[in-house]
Chains A and B, each alone.
Chain A
Amino acid sequence: MAIDPRHVGRRYGPYRHQVCAERVRDFATVVAGGAPGHFGAASGEPHPWSADEEAAARSPYGALVAPPTFAVTFAMDPFAQACADPEIGLDLVRLLHAEQEFEYRGVVRPADVLTTRGEVVEVHSKGPLDFMTVRTETRNQADELVIVGLWTAVVRT
């Protein structure tokens, strides 16, 4: 069943997150093939500026820099809420992440306090597939827009 277009414009948030250095490091380590809490054990090498605080202190940023897709930890809430919103009524068992796009306006560092708001911006169907896109905006403690996300789910009907 196609997603009702009246849901376009539904809003979620604000959601606040404080970025934590350990979480940035664990994220970079796990993505590189390691286990959480075991920096150095990754089979691949995480970029040192996202995983090694001493190397990051000597970098142009002076501290750890969140990897680009660390945004999942602080900017996904509106998308997750929309996917599980009983008013929209998507079948979660048949739902998959279809597309993702980020636009970066600034870097994210530990101790940043980030606020994310999101809105359903598009629904459409293609054959047996229903798509829903949520656009998120994340601002930091200085009210600077740091990341815009476009999150698209597909439901196989």
Chain B
Amino acid sequence: MPLVAGIDCGTGFTKAVIIASEPHATARIVGRGRAKSGVDSNLAASNALRSALQHACIAHEDLAYVATTGFGRYGVSFRDIQITEITSAARGAHFLCPETKTILDIGSQTTRAVASDHGKVKAFKSNDKCAAGSGMFITRAAKYLEVPLEQVGELSLHATRPQPISSICAVLAESEIINHVSLGVSVEDILRGIHDSLAERAGMLLKRVGMGDSVTFIGGVAQQAGIVRALQEKLKVKVTVPDGCEYACALGASLLGLHRYSAVHSVTKVGTVA
């Protein structure tokens, strides 16, 4: 029963997932943990993993294999393999929602749209040049509006007259927000405007990879109810947010790591010859 860890070194947070696998059975999540990413990916990965290990009640030595993914994946010294976040996202989303054809992943500094088939990547688009449409847009706005990030999603649902934010740039949008505040627009309406703006931006990426009739929404931002509603209304598609959406990439990495581990140790450990 090998235990495999997947660590997603994101730009905002580092997430770790530990899975256990038994022959001829689906892998099972046994532990999850996260830590704030800093400049040192190795440290953040250790912290996230430690928290996942505690959650699973196991020791680091019990891990058979460690797969890393995300922005800081090369910075983790104790990794066995690194996998791109696109591949991980497709694999993780497929595990959580087997019907997945289109994935939207919005993280702290990244937004990605992935078209997939049975967990395999068919096409993808991401915002690699700028923070437009990423979680940072919301983080900065929340900071300015003095709203805790955890409340943003809920507040946005209570908007009555959403105020459009036209700027693409996360930095220039702040000035627009300041303007709205000075005109007395409610925090709820501003936040919903931001969610609408992000949804629009995400829609552009999704259309470029080919959007089906449903989207699996993963990444930290998917936890905000407001943006889920904005996406549903703007894109007119069913948006599914799986439980543990924030950990989807880490999970995908662990599954791919397990696959790799099984291939390498096929004779001795798993018992089936590849």
A and B physically associate: no
Residue ranges of A at the interface with B (Cβ–Cβ < 8 Å): none
